[in-house]
Amino acid sequence: MSNSKNSLVPEAREALNRFKMEAASEVGVNLKQGYNGDLTSKQAGSVGGQMVKKMIQAYENGMK
């Protein structure tokens, strides 16, 4: 079974962290490096939703 902390492309970890921080900033959630267990479910969901929205937008732009 795969562990989510072990990415298939180790170099992608830093890029994903930057992407997450950017998405959090866009929705007004203050993330810190490391553990963010003090976030509410709503805040965490907002960050994840913004990340998905940006990924879909990037994919659609690449199709043009």
Query: Locate tokens 């992608």: which residue?
Result: 12
Query: Locate tokens 């007004």: which residue?
Result: 28
Q: Is the pTM of this model over 0.85?
A: no
- pLDDT for position 47: 96
Q: Is the pLDDT of residue 23 over 90?
A: yes
Task: At 22, list the tokens.
Answer: 């950017």
Query: Locate tokens 């199709």: which residue?
Result: 63
Q: Is the pLDDT of residue 28 over 60?
A: yes
Burial class, 23, CB count within 10 angstroms (exposed 0-12 / middle 13-18 / buried 19+): buried
pLDDT per residue as tens digits for the range 38-60: 999 999 999 999 999 999 999 99
Task: At 7, list the tokens.
Answer: 């990415």
- pLDDT for position 55: 93
Q: Is the pLDDT of residue 1 over 60?
A: no
Can you tell me the distance from the alpha carbon of 50 to that of 3, in angstroms, rounded to the nearest whole number?
24
- pLDDT for position 33: 86
